[in-house]
Amino acid sequence: MRVLGVDPGLTRCGLGVVDGLPGRRLRMVAVGVATSEPSLDVDQRLLRIERGIEEYLEEHAPDALAVERVFAQHNVSTVMGTAQVAGLAMVAAARRRIPVAMHTPSEVKAAVTGSGRAGKAQVQTMVQRLLALDELPRPADAADALALAICHLWRPAGSVGAPQRPPGALTPAQQAWAGAEQAARARR
């Protein structure tokens, strides 16, 4: 199953494509950001971001799209731009009949690090480990997009659009945790 994760933002929109199935190693397919300059009018900024999302959808043909659920922030203009970009991504997927799922930031952090309060650095580090990358995915928006894709792939079996795994099988998160524990013990 191939998932495109979208970390919406009006200046930088993280885009990350991950392939994975239950019980199999995850593989990063692509990662990047779609950008727009703050000096442009908002319609032109949205157009630039939308083009980047469209390119990823066309080039990588995902089976699902995972978007960060926008939550209320103190800065209304930031949340407005984020919500607008999330809407662009969902419409682009809907045109292609690609299922869309929304995940909260704490849900994504918990899926990838084990803690819903993990910081950006922790998320980047775990994404690097889970995808066996040579270096940390940068910028943080790109790492967050990969984390969204991982979170979506690791949803519990039986969730709408979730990959199926045999009864009693460890989730990918549990397997990754067990592997990290074994590696830590081996270093002692």
* Better-predicted residue by pLDDT, 63 or 175: 63
- What confidence category does residue 178 fall into, taking pLDDT thresholds of 50, 70 and 90? low
68 annotated binding-site participant: yes
Catalytic: 55? no
Would you say 12 and 33 are in contact if contact means Cβ atoms under 8 Å apart? yes
Q: Which of these, 183, 182, 176, 179, lies nearest to 22 by C-alpha position?
A: 176
- What confidence category does residue 175 fall into, taking pLDDT thresholds of 50, 70 and 90? low
Catalytic: 144? no
Range of the domain at 79: 2-187
Tokens of 74: 């103190």
Residue 73 pLDDT: 63
Strand order from edge to edge, sheet including 64-68: 27-35, 12-19, 2-7, 64-68, 100-103
Please report, as a single letter, which amino acid is at residue 29: V
Q: Is 80 exposed, middle or buried (0-12, 13-18, 19+ CB in 10 A)?
A: middle
> For the residues 21-27, what does the mean pLDDT come to?
83
58 annotated binding-site participant: no
107 annotated binding-site participant: no
Residue 126 pLDDT: 96
* CATH code (residue 26): 3.30.420.10
Span 56-90, pLDDT tens digits: 999 999 999 999 998 766 677 788 999 999 999 99
Candidate list 19, 50, 141, 144, residue with the active-site label: 141
Catalytic: 141? yes
How far is residue 175's CA from residue 188's CA, in Å, rounded to a whole number?
20
Candidate list 19, 50, 68, 144, residue with the active-site label: 68
Candidate list 7, 19, 50, 144, residue with the active-site label: 7
Q: How wide is the angle at C-alpha 120 spanned by C-alphas 114 and 123, nearest 5°?
A: 40
Residue 112 pLDDT: 93
Span 34-45, pLDDT tens digits: 999 999 999 999
Give the total number of structural domains in the chain: 1
Beta-carbon contacts of residue 111 (< 8 Å; ≥ 6 apart): 103, 147, 150, 151, 154, 173
Span 110-159, pLDDT tens digits: 999 998 999 999 999 999 999 999 999 999 999 999 999 999 998 765 44
* Better-predicted residue by pLDDT, 172 or 20: 20
